[in-house]
Structures are given as C-alpha cells and as structure tokens.
Amino acid sequence: MIRFETSLGPITIDLFDKDAPLSTQNFLDYVDSGHFDGTVFHRVIPGFVVQGGGMTEDMKQKSTRAPVRNEADNGVKNRRGTLSMARTNDPHSATSQFFINLVDNTNLDPGRGGAGYAVFGCVTEGMSVVDAMAKVKTGRRGMHDDVPVEPIKVISARRVEAAK
C-alpha cells in the first residue's frame, strides 16, 4: 500500500500488482525514489479525474524514467476511485503521471479501437480527500488548463504496511 500525504489530507492506495505488474513496479520505483514528494495534482476536472505525479508547483515537468508498456487490457476497469496511468496519444508512453477516477470512466477502458488507460490501483482510504480536490477552483497556467489556483501539494508518498 502507498500513503500520499497531501496538502488536503492523506490518501491510501492499494496496488494491483497481479493485474498490472509493469505499471505497479513503475509506480513503486517512483515512490521509492521520492519522485512524487513536492509534486502537485496539476489537473483537476470535476466529474472526471484528478491527475498528478509529474509536475512541480511552478508547473515544471520532472524528469522521468523510460515509459512502460500499456497494460489497459488487464480487464480492470476505470471505475470511481481507481488509479490509472496517464499517457499521451501513444498507448505506451506512460511514465510517472497517474490519475484518480472521480467517476466510472468507461470511455477510458480499451475498446472501439482505443488502447485504453491502464488501471493499476485504487484508493482504499481518503476518497473524501480526492473529492475535495475536485471542488477546488481551477484555471489556466501557461499551456495548462484545469490547474488548481491554490496548489494541491504532495508532501510525501511512501510504502506502508496494510492493516492486519
């Protein structure tokens, strides 16, 4: 499990290592390196997703490792509370950025000729924090839309033991 300490509160995430082993290991490598510390949730679209994992507060993209192969065909759907790999139009371009689905986003699942977005985890605690993110005021910063006016900071992201 991973615990994100954010400026709006904690979020605990369970990872689907059996369903999405490449995406999970990629995410853990970023967690273990401290990559997410000091980043922000830089894209907030109510009724859709909150996205983070790669931008600093001044909207500079952090350097990343090589992309991972898209695992969206793993049968796990983009449902409310799930985490998925963010990517460009290239299905195999995901690096450190991820999003949390605010609603069931079946349009992000593979199908109808689209590669889909790989689901690799879910929020197990703190969905109220994610919902609070969806309510912040957003605007445009540079070339980016849907950016929170008041940054939603990731203070830390660490592995934690699952409660027994």
pLDDT, averaged across the chain: 96
pLDDT digits (tens, 9 = 90+) for 142-157: 899 999 999 999 999 9
Per-residue DSSP letter, 26:
H
pLDDT at 163 over 70: no
Main-chain phi, psi angles of 70, to 5 degrees = -65, 125
Give the pTM.
Answer: 0.96
**What is the fold, at CATH topology level, of the domain defined by 2-159?**
Cyclophilin (2.40.100)
Q: Is the dihedral of CA 72, 1, 93, 154 positive or negative?
A: positive
Does residue 123 contact residue 13 with C-beta atoms inside 8 Å? yes
pLDDT digits (tens, 9 = 90+) for 7-49: 999 999 999 999 999 999 999 999 999 999 999 999 999 999 9
**Following DSSP, what letter does each residue of 104-122 receive, concatenated?**
--GGGSSBTTB----EEEE
The arithmetic mean of pLDDT across residues 74-83, rounded, is 97
